[in-house]
Amino acid sequence: MTNVEAVPPYQHRTVLLNEAVEALALEDDRRQGIFVDGTFGRGGHSRLILQRLGERGRLLAFDKDTYAIANAASIDDARFEIVHDSFATLAEALSARGIAQLDGVLLDLGISSPQVDDAARGFSFRADGPLDMRMDTTRGMSAAEWLATETEQKIEKVIRDYGEERFAFQIAKAIVARRAVEPISSTRQLAEIVANAVKTREKGKDPATRTFQAIRIFINQELEELEVALAAAFRHLAPHGRLVVISFHSLEDRIVKQFMAGKARVAQPDRRLPIRAADLPQPEMKLLGRIRPSDDEVRDNPRARSAVMRIAERLAPAGVLQ
């Protein structure tokens, strides 16, 4: 494990900290349950969960970022364990530990402020740094390596689909033209290429915003991993277990919304068929609401402005006594 002193001094404010932990309903017997923090980050949610967890409770946290893993080393608590991997490996991690059911799962999606603020990570166009963008720098292909080898058509598709960028064709064409002259290895290079390719700009938004978002999401397979994690979390939730997800852009939120809505919806049978009420299909989850940051939180932490938290509860199968 990396030494905790290696963590850079970048600050992170946990978005919807109290609201997310409240949504897990750590009360009464549930305080002795097993919970998952799928994105440890700098540990804001995990530390508050541990404060409210009972003596026999257990918290399993995940993160791909080596700095987050180092930060987690400062938590000296027998009830806590950190896994250096994606939350997409949830099912495998639970199986390895003999855990069959969970009382709650919290996923705080996107990237943290320290990742954005550290130019060496390559996530931001606001400061020059190596074009990396990997959440886990110990494995996988960097953004620079991907842009150096990928086809123009695939680059265009990624920028259009993951960044919702209407100038994806022009940007991809410009990237391929520039790499034929010199390697694209820094965030400043990429930001300049995008700025020259985008003809009109959204008010208050840097032209590189959507492209950087798209490449980051693709490099880290964020949407694909989210779909896997949601399915695994649902399979392992105990009756009345809570699923709490904080999203920061529309692509993530759409996946979460559709997943929860799908589990809360049931197909309506043909009314002409003689079906007893007890035999009617039952929803598998109950939607408990959507929460946005307060005006005060957004004022104190502008990066919270796009956050949306959705909460759902696993229902008991029909015929199971509670």
Binding residues: 43-45, 63, 87, 108, 115
Helix or strand holding residue 160 (H, E): helix 152-163
Q: How far apart are CA 164 and CA 210, in angstroms?
A: 7
Residue carrying the six token digits 């002259």: 181
What are the respective helix, strand and coil percentages of the chain, to the nearest 5?
A: 45, 15, 40
Binding residues for S-adenosyl-L-methionine: 43-45, 63, 87, 108, 115
Q: How far apart are CA 213 and CA 295, in angstroms?
A: 25
Phi, psi of 189 (to 5 degrees): -60, -50
Strands 102-108 and 34-37: parallel
Q: Which two tokens stand for residue 248?
A: 């920061």
- Please, which residues bridge with residue 59 across strands? 35, 80
Q: How far apart are CA 237 and CA 263, in angstroms?
A: 13
Q: Is 205 helix (H, G, I), strand (E, B) or coil?
A: coil
Q: Which two tokens stand for residue 244?
A: 């709490």
Helix axes 250-264, 222-236, angle to 10 degrees: 30
- Return contacts of 94-97, CB within 8 angstroms, 24+ apart: 94/60, 94/232, 94/236, 97/60
